[in-house]
Structures are given as structure tokens and as C-alpha cells.
């Protein structure tokens, strides 16, 4: 259980920490310092590298979470809530990856900056939703044991 818990914490730290950094530090900085062609090219490149790590984080979170839940028997309500929110987050990420991110890369490659900006705006909104869900999940994980 110790190793599974470590992998779980590692996974959500990479994913949620990366979202927090990208949404609250990187994006606002490049929005005021770089013109759209440079900004969108940079963000598409950053997402290419970050999303690789998100896929690994999801595998760690899902695998370790299922392993820990299997050892629990019937998981307590906070654990079930974390699992449900985590699955929703994974589905949102899947949508980001296969829809607006794909459009962003395509539009950046074609130098269609307005369309790339629309795709980036969609990614930003969905990342904000996932970030809030991730922080709620951390809150439940941290305070959930106090409920039982």
C-alpha cells in the first residue's frame, strides 16, 4: 500500500501542479509578453511535453488508486468521491487532448493564429475546470479521513 500511495501522490502532484503552473503562471505571463504567433507556438510546445507527463500521471493515479481501493474492500465515501472526480478529470483531459489540443497544433502548424487562439481559449477553460476539480479532490483526500 505504501508504494501505491507514493505513486498516487506522485501522479496527482505532477498533473495538478502542472495545471496550476500553466494556468496561473505561464499563460498569464506569455499573454502579456508575447505576440500571438510566438505565444501560441510556445504553448503548443509546452502542452506537447506536459501532456506526455499527464498521460503517465493518469496511469499512475488510476493504477495505484484501483490497487488501493481493491485492498480496502468497500471504500469509504471520500475515496469513492475522489475516484469519481478523478474519472471525470481524466475524461475532461481526454477531450482536451483529442479535440482542442489537436486543433491548436493543427492551426499553429498552418499559422492560423485566430483559430489557434480559439482552441487555446477552450483548453484554458477546461484546464481551469480540471484544476478546480483536482484541488477539490486533494481537499477530500486530505480532510476525508476526518469524516470517519
- How does pLDDT run across 65-75, given as a tens digit for each residue? 999 999 998 99
Q: Tens of pLDDT along 26-58? A: 999 999 999 999 999 999 999 999 999 999 999
Q: Tens of pLDDT along 121-132? A: 999 999 999 999
pLDDT at 148: 47
What ranges do the domains of the chain cover? 2-147
Q: Which residue has the cell 481501493?
A: 69
3-class DSSP assignment, residue 110: coil
Instruction: Give the integer Cα–Cα distance in Å for 13 and 137.
Output: 12
What are the Cα distances from residue 65, in Å, to 16, 44, 107? 16, 30, 37
Query: Which pLDDT band holds residue 147 (cuts at 50, 70, 90)?
Result: low
Greater model confidence, 24 or 143: 24
- The DSSP symbol for 111 reads T
Return the HEC string of 49-109. HHHHHHHHHHHHHHHHHHHHHHHHCCCCHHHHHHHHHHHHHHHHHHHHHHCHHHHHHHHHH
Amino acid at each position: 500500500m505504501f508504494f501505491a500511495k507514493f505513486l498516487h501522490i506522485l501522479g496527482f502532484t505532477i498533473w495538478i501542479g502542472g495545471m496550476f503552473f500553466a494556468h496561473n503562471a505561464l499563460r498569464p505571463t506569455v499573454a502579456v509578453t508575447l505576440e500571438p504567433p510566438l505565444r501560441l507556438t510556445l504553448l503548443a510546445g509546452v502542452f506537447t511535453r506536459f501532456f506526455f507527463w499527464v498521460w503517465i500521471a493518469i496511469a499512475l493515479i488510476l493504477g495505484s488508486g484501483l490497487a488501493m481501493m481493491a485492498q480496502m474492500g468497500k471504500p469509504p465515501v471520500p475515496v469513492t468521491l475522489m475516484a469519481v472526480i478523478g474519472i471525470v478529470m481524466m475524461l475532461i483531459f481526454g477531450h482536451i487532448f483529442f479535440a482542442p489540443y489537436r486543433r491548436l497544433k493543427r492551426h499553429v502548424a498552418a499559422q492560423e493564429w485566430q483559430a489557434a487562439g480559439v482552441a487555446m481559449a477552450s483548453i484554458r477553460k477546461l484546464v481551469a475546470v480540471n484544476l478546480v476539480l483536482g484541488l477539490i479532490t486533494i481537499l477530500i483526500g486530505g480532510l476525508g479521513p476526518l469524516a470517519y
